[in-house]
Amino acid sequence: MPRHFLTLLDLQREELLALTERAIELKALRGRPEHPRPLAGKSVAVLMEKASTRTRISFEVGIHELGGAPIALVGRDLQLGRNEPLGDTAKVLSRYLSAVVVRTHGHDRLEELAAASEVPFVNALTDSFHPCQLLADLMTIREKRAAGLEDLHVAWVGDGNNMAHSWILAASLLDFRLTLACPEGYRPDEQVLALGRAQKAGQIELCASVEDAVKGAHVVTTDVWASMGQEQEAAARIEAFADYTVTAQHMEQAASDAIFLHCLPAHRGEEVAAEVIDGPASHVWDQAENRLHSQKALLELLLGPQASAPK
Ligand code: CP
Ligand code: NVA
C-alpha cells in the first residue's frame, strides 16, 4: 500500500512538525550544491482538473529541484476526460510514475484514484481539502512568529470551505486554538468539524461574528467567497458574505503582532480589504513562495531514501 497524502491526517503530529522544519532547511539550501536530489531518476505527474497558478508551478519546480522529472497533465487531455475509469487511470499512471499530484473536484474522486494506485497520490486541492496549502501556511507562521507554532491562536474568516476544513485538521493535529467566523449556511462541514474535534483536544470554535473570531488572534486568514466550481453562486455569496471582509479594524482587534495570511488568489474589497493584504501584517508572498519549500519536504518524505510507511 503506497503512502498517500490526501489530508493532513495522513501525517502524524511529529511528522508535520518535522516537515515544517525540513522545509525551512530546504529553503536555505535552495540553489546550493548540497541541496538534496532524492527524486533523481524519478518522474512525478502533476494532474490538474481545475485551474492553478501556485500549486502547479511550485510542484513542477520543486520536483525538478529535487532531481526528478515533472510531468504536467491536464485532465481533459487524458482519456480520463473521455470517461476512462479513475481506477484504470490510476493503475496505468502507477506503471510510469513515482507519484501523482492531483487537483480535482470531489474528494471521493481523489480517494478512488489513490485506492487503485501503486504509487503515492498527493492532494493538490479537492472541493473538501487543500492540505499542501496548510504545509506552507504552518511554515510561514513558524518563520514569522517569534513563538512559532506554540500557544497559537488562528482566526478563520469567511467560507467554511476546503481551506477552512484544512485549518480544522491542522488545529486538531497540532492542538492550537482555531476560531472560525462563517455566515449561516456557509459553515464548515459537520463531519469535518467532528473529525477535527475527535482528535486530541484541539480548541475549534465557531464564533457568532468576525470580531469574536479575530479578538487576540495571532494569525488572521481568509479565502475567496466563491471557490472553483461555485462561480454560478458568486452573486448570492457576495450578499451572504457582506459582513465578512477582513478589515484593518479587525487586524487591530487581533494580537498586536498578528499576521495576515491568504492562500491566493485574492479578491481585494471582497474577503479582504486592500490595505490589509497589501499592508505590513500581510505575508502572502512569502506564504506563496513557501508552497515550493514545504512541498519539496513532503515529496522527500514520501519518495526520498528515508521514505517510511504510514505510522
Ligand atoms: N493557493 C493555491 O492553491 O493557488 P493556485 O490555485 O494558484 O494553485
Ligand atoms: N477555496 C479556493 C482555494 C483556491 C486555492 C478554491 O477551492 O477555489
pLDDT of 208-229, one tens digit each?
999 999 999 999 999 999 999 9
Q: What pTM was estimated for this model as a whole?
A: 0.97
Q: What is the pLDDT of residue 42?
A: 98
Task: Give me ligand 1 centre to Cα 26, in Å.
Answer: 21
Q: Which residues pair with 219 in a beta bridge?
A: 154, 259
Copy the grid coordinates of residue 228. Answer: 472553483
pLDDT at 306 over 80: no
- What SS3 class is residue 177? strand
Q: What is the pLDDT of residue 277?
A: 99
More confident residue, 306 or 263: 263
Residue 282 beta carbon below 6 angstroms from any ligand 2 atom: no
- So what's the architecture of 8-130+291-303 in CATH? 3-Layer(aba) Sandwich (3.40)
Of residues 69, 61, 74, 73, the one with CA closest to residue 40: 69
pLDDT at 311 over 70: no
Same fold, 8-130+291-303 and 132-288: yes
Residue nearest to atom 6 of ligand 2 (CA): 227
Element (H, E) at 90: helix 86-96
- Which of 4, 153, 263, 293 does the annotation list as catalytic? 263
Residue nearest to atom 2 of ligand 2 (CA): 227
Q: Which residues pair with 252 in a beta bridge?
A: none
Of residues 60, 16, 53, the one with CA closest to residue 39: 60
Ligand 1 environment, Cβ below 6 A: 52-55, 125, 133, 263-264
Task: Give me ligand 2 centre to Cα 224, in Å.
Answer: 7
Residue 222 beta carbon below 6 angstroms from any ligand 2 atom: no
Question: Does residue 170 contact residue 152 with C-beta atoms inside 8 Å?
Answer: no
Domain 132-288 is found in CATH 3.40.1520.20? no
201 — pLDDT class (breaks 50, 70, 90): low
Long-range contacts of 22-31 (CB under 8 A, 24+ apart): 22/297, 22/300, 22/301, 23/135, 23/136, 23/139, 23/290, 23/293, 23/294, 23/296, 23/297, 24/139, 24/142, 24/143, 24/293, 26/293, 26/296, 26/297, 26/300, 27/290, 27/293, 30/65, 30/293
Copy the grid coordinates of residue 206. Answer: 465557531
Residue 161 beta carbon below 6 angstroms from any ligand 2 atom: yes
Residue 224 beta carbon below 6 angstroms from any ligand 2 atom: yes
Residue 162 beta carbon below 6 angstroms from any ligand 2 atom: yes
Question: Does residue 59 contact residue 46 with C-beta atoms inside 8 Å?
Answer: yes
Question: Which 8-state DSSP code applies to residue 282?
Answer: B
- Which of 56, 130, 145, 250 does the annotation list as catalytic? 130
Ligand nearest, relative to CA of residue 289: 1
Task: Give me ligand 1 centre to Cα 201, in Å.
Answer: 30
305 — pLDDT class (breaks 50, 70, 90): confident
pLDDT at 308 over 90: no
Test site for ligand 2: of 125, 165, 241, 295, most ligand atoms within 8 A of the Cβ: 125
Q: What is the pLDDT of residues 229-279, one digit of tens each?
A: 999 999 999 999 999 999 999 999 999 999 999 999 999 999 999 999 999
- The yes-or-no answer on residue 107 being catalytic is no
- The yes-or-no answer on residue 283 being catalytic is no
Copy the grid coordinates of residue 284. Answer: 502572502
Q: What is the pLDDT of residues 91-143, one digit of tens each?
A: 999 999 999 999 999 999 999 999 999 999 999 999 999 999 999 999 999 99
- Which of 4, 54, 103, 142 does the annotation list as catalytic? 103
